[in-house]
Amino acid sequence: MPKAIEIASLNAYYGSFHAVADVSLTIAPRSITAFIGPSGCGKSTLLRTLNRMHEVIPGARVTGSVLVEGQDVYGSGVDPVLVRQRVGMVFQRPNPFPTMSIKDNVLAGVRLQRRRLSKGEANSVVERSLRSAGLWTEVRDRLDKPGASLSGGQQQRLCIARAIAIEPEVLLMDEPCSALDPISTLAIEELMAGLKATYTVVIVTHNMAQAARISDKTAFFTIDGARKPGRLVEYGPTAAMFSEPNQQATADYIAGRFG
Ligand SMILES: Nc1ncnc2c1ncn2[C@@H]1O[C@H](COP(=O)(O)OP(=O)(O)O)[C@@H](O)[C@H]1O
Ligand SMILES: [Mg+2]
């Protein structure tokens, strides 16, 4: 089975604080993987190690390896900027550039990558990305309006359009629905089922029902106490994990007895 992402013996630190301990797991291409677990167990940290966003924090470092389509993103001579183009990210709070137009928001990343972009090329990137993000029909008549003119749910889909405009291989999403209402959440969940035809998606969610609805595989992380590192407890197909988890800690978490 081909692997899109292979995480091996990964440890993440903030200065002397060991935040994530010894995680190894492999993720198949064109699948959705959910990271779940109690607050502070290192889900966001692990996610950020996958596109080298972790090391942007002063004092933060990583040991171990992360292969994306076979390339070690921590290999010597690998440019983190190129890694972040291959591994895009969507955050918890929609963060479009508020005064920039909807169209320019979609193109923001592409313009950093390719300086020359004809009007025709730009228009086709904008339409393709907004269609993939399920936003095209809602905004096609107001592409020059500012990003901030959209609702929260639309802004989050705009951020998804911006992330996929640069054609990444992997899309990381850190609790992308936690600031959204239920209708907007549903729109994003429906969108994700389509995104996985093209992208390998890794999503952090604190919403267990969401993980169960949208993901193919689930990784459950926990912490054994304050200032202890987060660790991977169990990783497997989502349906099996939610119906018959192998570990008591997973069963307790899923049943709401912890976290
Ligand atoms: N920028 C940071 N500097 C220092 N410690 C951090 C930083 N970000 C997160 N941490 C710590 O790392 C641990 C894991 O955090 P995080 O990855 O955000 O967990 P989760 O996403 O599972 O809630 C927590 O103890 C948190 O306080
Ligand atoms: Mg988090």
Whether 229 is in the pocket of ligand 1, judged by its Cβ within 6 Å, is no
Domain-embedded: residue 120:
no
Looking at residue 69, its amino acid is E
Domain range enclosing 66: 5-95+167-254
pLDDT, average across residues 215-221? 98
Please tell me the distance from the alpha carbon of residue 241 to that of residue 218, in angstroms, as a whole number.
7
Cα–ligand 2 centroid distance for 148 (angstroms) = 25
Pocket probe mutation, ligand 1, options 10, 11, 13, 14, max atoms within 8 Å of Cβ: 14
Is the Cβ–Cβ distance between 28 and 1 less than 8 Å? yes
Q: Supply the DSSP string of 23-68, one letter for each residue.
A: EEEEE-SS-EEEEE-STTSSHHHHHHHTTT-GGGSTTEEEEEEEEE
- State the pLDDT confidence band at 88, using cuts at 50, 70 and 90: very high
Predicted confidence (pLDDT) at residue 54 exceeds the cutoff of 80? yes
Domain-embedded: residue 33:
yes
- State the pLDDT confidence band at 115, using cuts at 50, 70 and 90: confident
Nearest residue (CA) to ligand 1, atom 16: 42
The predicted-structure confidence for 24-41, as pLDDT tens digits, reads as follows 999 999 999 999 999 999
Whether 39 is in the pocket of ligand 1, judged by its Cβ within 6 Å, is yes
Is the Cβ–Cβ distance between 204 and 35 less than 8 Å? yes
Q: Give how many domains the chain has, as a whole number.
A: 1
User: Smallest Cα–Cα separation from 166: which of 259, 76, 62, 87?
Assistant: 87
Beta bridge partners of 234: 220
Q: What percent of the chain has pLDDT over 90?
A: 95
- State the pLDDT confidence band at 256, using cuts at 50, 70 and 90: confident
Domain-embedded: residue 136:
no
CA 132-134-140 angle, 5° bins: 100
- State the pLDDT confidence band at 258, using cuts at 50, 70 and 90: low
Predicted confidence (pLDDT) at residue 217 exceeds the cutoff of 60? yes
CA 11-67-59 angle, 5° bins: 35
pLDDT, average across residues 168-189? 95
Looking up residue 242, the CATH number of its domain turns out to be: 3.40.50.300
**Burial tier of 97 (Cβ tally within 10 Å: 0-12, 13-18, 19+):** middle
Whether 162 is in the pocket of ligand 1, judged by its Cβ within 6 Å, is no
Domain-embedded: residue 157:
no
Domain-embedded: residue 129:
no
Which residues 6+ apart lie within 8 Å of 45 measured at CB?
A: 12, 19, 20, 54, 230
Whether 14 is in the pocket of ligand 1, judged by its Cβ within 6 Å, is yes
Quick one: pLDDT at residue 112? 87
Is the Cβ–Cβ distance between 84 and 47 less than 8 Å? no
Quick one: pLDDT at residue 1? 63
Q: Which ligand is nearest to the CA of 174?
A: 2
Q: What is the DSSP letter of 244?
A: S
Predicted confidence (pLDDT) at residue 259 exceeds the cutoff of 60? no
3-class DSSP state of 256: coil
* CB neighbourhood size of 254 (10 A): 20
Quick one: pLDDT at residue 58? 97
The predicted-structure confidence for 116-139, as pLDDT tens digits, reads as follows 899 999 999 999 999 999 999 999
Is the Cβ–Cβ distance between 161 and 106 less than 8 Å? yes
Quick one: pLDDT at residue 2? 75
Domain-embedded: residue 70:
yes
Whether 44 is in the pocket of ligand 1, judged by its Cβ within 6 Å, is yes
Domain-embedded: residue 135:
no
Cα–ligand 2 centroid distance for 120 (angstroms) = 39
Domain-embedded: residue 65:
yes
Whether 91 is in the pocket of ligand 1, judged by its Cβ within 6 Å, is no
